[in-house]
Amino acid sequence: MSSHIIVYIAASKGKPHPTDPGITRHHIYYADNKRELAQEIIKAKKSGHPVYSLHSQTKRGAKSIGAYETYQEVKIEGVKLPKLVLCPVCSGNGCTVCNQSGYTTPGYEKNWSEWQIEDMRKRKKSDKRS
């Protein structure tokens, strides 16, 4: 069952944000847990999109970000996120282990088999040559 936490972030043109008229465009990043949420926030910031608020599509997602109901806006400062470290598999370049963000929780790579990690490293090297 997915939590579907939505990260709303600002850009330039479009429909105004429901509670902050300074935000004029929504970029949506989806996450199923707090680790993925922290990674999506990093990816958004790397893309130059400042993160302002979070919303959830499900009760489980709302609970994980501290909201009382679905689609309730929660300011990013009020959400406790896990500590992320530079991904030991890709050294910050982005891979499947770190959800293409370059960062993951300490020890998360241990959930993967050694052959999977080696395969990811080989694919990254072949992608760089192409």
Residue 90 and residue 36 share a domain: no
- 10 and 72 fall within a common domain: yes
Whether residues 63 and 96 fall in one domain: no
Residues in contact with 98: Cβ distance below 8 Å, sequence separation at least 6, in sequence order:
39, 87, 89, 90, 104
Same domain membership, residue 45 and residue 12: yes
Same domain, 74 and 94: no
Q: What is the pLDDT of residue 85?
A: 93
Q: 63 with 91, same domain?
A: no
Q: Please choose, from the candidates 43, 45, 78, 50, the residue with its C-alpha nearest in 3D space to the C-alpha of residue 64.
A: 78
Q: Does position 28 have pLDDT exceeding 60, yes or no?
A: yes
Residues 9 and 71 placed together within one structural domain of the fold: yes
Largest Cα–Cα separation, the chain: 49
pLDDT of residue 4: 58
If asked whether residues 19 and 72 sit together in one domain, one would say yes
Q: How confident is the model at residue 86 (pLDDT cuts 50, 70, 90)?
A: very high
Q: Are residues 18 and 57 in the same domain?
A: yes
Q: Beta partners for 29?
A: 7
Q: For residue 17, give its domain range.
A: 5-78
**Count of structural domains, the chain:** 2
Cα(56)–Cα(7) distance, integer angstroms? 8
pLDDT tens column, 90-109: 888 888 888 899 999 998 88
Closest CA to 85 of 125, 35, 31, 123: 35
Same domain, 73 and 90: no
Q: Are residues 70 and 91 in the same domain?
A: no
Last residue of a domain, one of 78, 99, 117: 78
Q: What local confidence, expressed as pLDDT, does residue 128 receive?
A: 64
Tell me: do 74 and 33 sit in the same domain. yes
Closest CA to 66 of 50, 52, 55: 55
